[in-house]
Chain A
Amino acid sequence: DSGVTQTPKHLITATGQRVTLRCSPRSGDLSVYWYQQSLDQGLQFLIQYYNGEERAKGNILERFSAQQFPDLHSELNLSSLELGDSALYFCASSVRLNSPLHFGNGTRLTVT
């Protein structure tokens, strides 16, 4: 158990809808990262927060947004969903910017 909690585990929704994925980092970790992994694809870095502030951005679509709250949990919002957004979405956390990442078990999003 990595200590990173992601909810929900599974999510099935229709095209055009909006969903929110939630992540609780390990206790004491200040940095949160979001990744997308499509079937048989690599991990695509989306965005990183450190202590509530956006620190780095990857290839995150404009339809996607995220934030990290004062209690350090994070949410990833996906809107106007398309079939191609179906993927595993992982959250990871680390205590410092250069520390190893600890990943949650992911949220499997299926867009129909």
Chain B
Amino acid sequence: LAKTTQPISMDSYEGQEVNITCSHNNIATNDYITWYQQFPSQGPRFIIQGYKTKVTNEVASLFIPADRKSSTLSLPRVSLSDTAVYYCLVGSNTGGFKTIFGAGTRLFVKA
């Protein structure tokens, strides 16, 4: 099971683009990369998932380099409501699937 490393916290201002990088040096061939957002006292919410290169949806983009040892979640033009904890997860369905959350990155968006 690949272990992930993320910054503990980040600060940003409204309207800026925020990039949160996650390191997963031991990622396996079958592993996917998934990002979640969590507000206090709420369950995490799925943001985006990818395997390689770039994935984009209506709320974020996910950049994965060729070696897949890291990934970057990009949030365009953040607002105060994007203040939350962001988790990067790596996992697959081989050898028993466990979805292990790390400590996450606390993003604080200021006005």
From B46, B96, B101, give the contact of A35 (CB < 8 A): B101
Q: Which of B57-99 contact A (CB under 8 A)?
A: 87, 91-93, 96-99
A101 pairs with B97, CB closer than 8 A? no
Per-residue interface assignment for chain A, residues 52 to 79, with 1 indicating a CB less than 8 Å from any chain B CB and 0 otherwise = 0001101000000000000000000000
Q: Are B42 and A45 in contact (CB under 8 A)?
A: no
Query: Is B7 an interface residue, CB under 8 A from the partner?
Result: no
Q: At the interface, yes or no: A97 with Cβ under 8 Å from chain B?
A: yes
Asked if residues A100 and B46 are in contact (CB atoms below 8 Å), the reply is yes
Least CB distance from B58 to A in Å reads 15
Chain B residues with CB below 8 A from A102, complex form: 46
Collect the chain B residues with CB atoms within 8 Å of residue A43's CB: 38, 44, 87, 101
Closest CB in chain B relative to A100 CB, distance in Å: 4
Please give me the residue from chain A that is nearest to B100 by CB atom: A45
The B interface is mostly helix, strand or loop, or mixed, namely: loop
- Contact residues on B (Cβ < 8 Å of other chain), bracket: 20 to 34
Contacting residues, chain A, for B98 (C-beta < 8 A): 45, 48, 56, 58
A92 on interface, CB distance cutoff 8 Å: yes
Cβ of A55 and Cβ of B44 under 8 Å apart?
Answer: no
- Bound CA–CA A90/B43 (angstroms): 7
Does B45 count as interface, using CB distance less than 8 angstroms?
yes
A25 at the interface (CB under 8 A from B): no
CB distance from A112 to the nearest CB of B (A): 19
Chain B residue nearest to A50 (CB atoms) is: B97
Given the known inter-chain contacts A56-B97, A98-B93, A98-B97, please indicate yes or no for A42 contacting B102, CB distance below 8 A: yes
Residues of B within 8 A of A33 (CB): 99
Q: Mark B7-45, 1 if CB is under 8 A from A, else 0.
A: 000000000000000000000000010101010011111
List 5 A-B pairs, Cβ < 8 Å: A2-B45, A48-B99, A90-B43, A103-B45, A106-B43
Q: Which residues of B contact A (CB under 8 A)?
A: 32, 34, 36, 38, 41-46, 49, 87, 91-93, 96-104
